Amino acid sequence: MDPQPTMHSITVNANIDFEYTLTPGDAVADGEEATLTLDSYEDGYEFVHWYETTTESVLSEDASTTFTVERSMVIEAVFQSADDNDDNGGNGDNGDNGENGDNNDEPAPLDSITIHYIDVGQADATFIEGANYNILIDAGRTHWNSQNKTIPYLQDLGIERIDLVIGTHPHMDHIGDLDVVLDLFDVGLVWKSGYVHDTATYDRVHAAISDALDAGDIEYDEPRFGDTLTLGQKELKVLNPVPDFGGIHDASISFILTHGDVRFMFTGDAEQTQENNMINRASDKGWSLDVDVYQAGHHGSSTSSTLPFMEAMTPSTTIYSAGEGNSHGHPHQEFLDNVAAVNSALYGTDVNGNITVTSNGLVYEVSVERGEAIMVHAPIVPGYDHEIARLLIEPDKRFAFA
């Protein structure tokens, strides 16, 4: 199944209305030429230029630009509002403040964080590495399984302390190695869903947590919807579970992590029912579900990442964790369709190996162990002088956007 090189374009982020034409449309191979033409845009703006983000180069100040498709590219259409022009042409009445310029409105970068979506086969383990704190979400399969890479991955990073360890729910592919984590690392706080499971894995991990708690080595909590936790420059908002949770997947600890303007969603193995509930709960609470990077629920299963949930989040990047050739058939086609429906770039540990997302709170960058990395600048930040519309040019057929 050798993919034919095909170019797809999607609008990654835009906060002004504009129309463009990309020729020759699809079926442009890597190394061939393409032309982007701006057809129309919102009143009150002036077009500034086409800008390519990886090489940081201006492609053209004309409405039309021709370029070579060399890899995954993010091209920005940059616009200036008419109001900005008025400011620049000011007559000096505001002389005291004039030197400061509008650029000072741009928010300052925060500490860098890196989210490691660790390739642990058909399982989940995600590590959030911050400047002053670390969080581990799940720990992969049980250690007797030779596929487990969580522990060596963390050891390779030189990690000694983990401030928060989260077992989203007690299935073996999530909490498998949590007892080993408690054993080998200096753990601060442990979060577990509270679901009691009748398995040897559960008993082993539960005993390890109880022992560590009795020894005064850790703190322990079972977070519920509405809880928030601030860790350094991060904030966690818990969306699931509620006190009266149902099945084991319904108990999955789910939360949004906010770092400056960049937001990440984690839902464990939560499924359709809880996704719908999370939409309603967030609405009741006045919390936005809009995120930039979404770790797909339940390994890219059709049970999760339903269209209403995807539309509520509109993630520009979706990442799932699944084993190559896994027996569940993850990622399912329904999941892929819903990812494409919201124009999200997609990565999976089965295809891309270890995946990392690094962010300074303003923008984020995706890196992959295998395959092509696509850099997507993160959210449009209110207060910027220029309005920017971002297009992802993707020569890889894997992202099957229509």
Interacting residue ranges for Zn ion, rule: CB under 5 A:
173, 269
Residue 294: CB minimum distance to Zn ion, A: 16
- CB nearer to Zn ion: give 77 or 178: 178
270 touches 295 (CB < 8 A): no
Residue 364: CB minimum distance to Zn ion, A: 25
Residue 299: CB minimum distance to Zn ion, A: 6
Residue 301: CB minimum distance to Zn ion, A: 9
Phi and psi torsions of 162, nearest 5°: -125, 115
Tell me which long-range contacts 322-327 makes (C-beta under 8 A, separation of at least 24).
322/122, 322/348, 322/349, 322/350, 323/121, 323/122, 323/123, 323/147, 323/349, 323/350, 324/121, 324/350, 324/351, 325/350, 326/121, 326/122, 326/299, 326/350, 327/122
- CB nearer to Zn ion: give 71 or 143: 143
Residue 346 CA, distance from chain mean position: 10
- CB nearer to Zn ion: give 171 or 237: 171
Residue 269's SS3 state is coil
> 104-113: buried (b, 16+ CB within 10 Å) or exposed (e) per residue?
eeeeeebbeb
Q: Is the dihedral of CA 296, 297, 303, 309 positive or negative?
A: negative
- CB nearer to Zn ion: give 260 or 331: 331
Residue 367: CB minimum distance to Zn ion, A: 24
Residue 21: CB minimum distance to Zn ion, A: 43
- CB nearer to Zn ion: give 130 or 300: 300
- CB nearer to Zn ion: give 75 or 181: 181
CA distances from residue 138 to 111, 148, 173, 237 in whole angstroms, order as listed: 24, 12, 8, 18
